[in-house]
Amino acid sequence: MQPFTLLIKPSGSDCNVDCTYCFYKCRPAEVGEGRQRMSLEVLDKLVKDYMGLRFQLSGFAWQGGEPTLMGLDFYKRAVELQKKYGVTGQEVGNSLQTNALLLDNADWCQFLHETTFLVGISIDGPKELHDHYRLDLGGHGTWDRVMRAIDRCKEHKVEFNTLTLVNRLTADHPDEIFDFLIDLGVRYLQFIPCVEPALGGQLLTLDRSVKCQELTPPSVAEFSVTPKQYGDFLCRIFDRWMEFGPQKLSIRDFDSALSYCLSGHHSICTFDRQCSQYIVVEHTGDVFPCDFFVEPQWRLGSILDTPIEQLAACAQKKAFARQKQSQPNRCLVCRHLAVCRGGCLKDRAPMGQAPWRGRLALASRGHPGLAFRDEGVGLPNALNRVGDPVPPSNRGQDALTTVGVAHSYFCESYRQFFDYALPRFLQVAAQIRAGALVRPQQLT
What residues make contact with ligand SF4 under the rule CB under 6 A? 269-270, 275, 290, 292, 330-331, 334, 336-337, 340, 342-346, 407-408, 411, 414-415
DSSP 406-422: PPBTTHHHHHHHHHHHH
Give the span between the Cα atoms of 236 and 233, in whole angstroms: 5
CB of 329 to ligand SF4, least distance (A): 9
Amino acid residing at 302: S
Q: In terms of CB distance, is 65 or 125 closer to ligand SF4?
A: 65
Q: 233 near 166, Cβ under 8 Å?
A: yes
Q: At what angle do helices 72-85 and 40-51 cross, to 10 degrees?
A: 30
**Which is closer to ligand SF4, CB of 133 or CB of 292?**
292
Sign of CA dihedral 148, 151, 155, 161: positive
Nearest to 52 by CA among 301, 308, 314, 313: 308
Rounded to a whole number of angstroms, the minimum distance from the CB of residue 388 to ligand SF4 is 12
Q: How far is the CB of 207 from ligand SF4 (least distance, A)?
A: 28
Q: For ligand SF4, give the closer residue by CB, 3 or 440.
A: 3
Buried-exposed string 351-369: b where 16+ CB fall within 10 A, e elsewhere: beeebbbbbbbbbbeeeee
What is the C-alpha separation between 30 and 283, in angstroms, rounded? 13
Shortest Cβ distance from residue 346 to ligand SF4 (Å)? 5
Question: Alpha-carbon distance 364 to 322, whole Å?
Answer: 8
Choosing from 44, 291, 305, 347, which is the catalytic residue?
291
Q: How many CB atoms lie within 10 A of CB 424?
A: 16
Q: Which is nearer to ligand SF4, 162 or 327 (CB)?
A: 327
Q: Residue ranges of the alpha helices (H) in 40-87?
A: 40-51, 72-85
291 annotated active-site: yes
Q: How far apart are CB 333 and ligand SF4 at their closest, in Å? A: 8
Nearer to ligand SF4, 10 or 358 (CB): 358
Q: Which is nearer to ligand SF4, 189 or 411 (CB)?
A: 411
Rounded to 5°, angle at Cα 276 from 117 and 32: 70
Element (H, E) at 97: strand 91-98
Q: Which helix (H) or strand (E) holds 286?
A: strand 286-288
**Minimum CB distance to ligand SF4, residue 58 (Å):** 19
Give the residue numbers marked as catalytic.
291
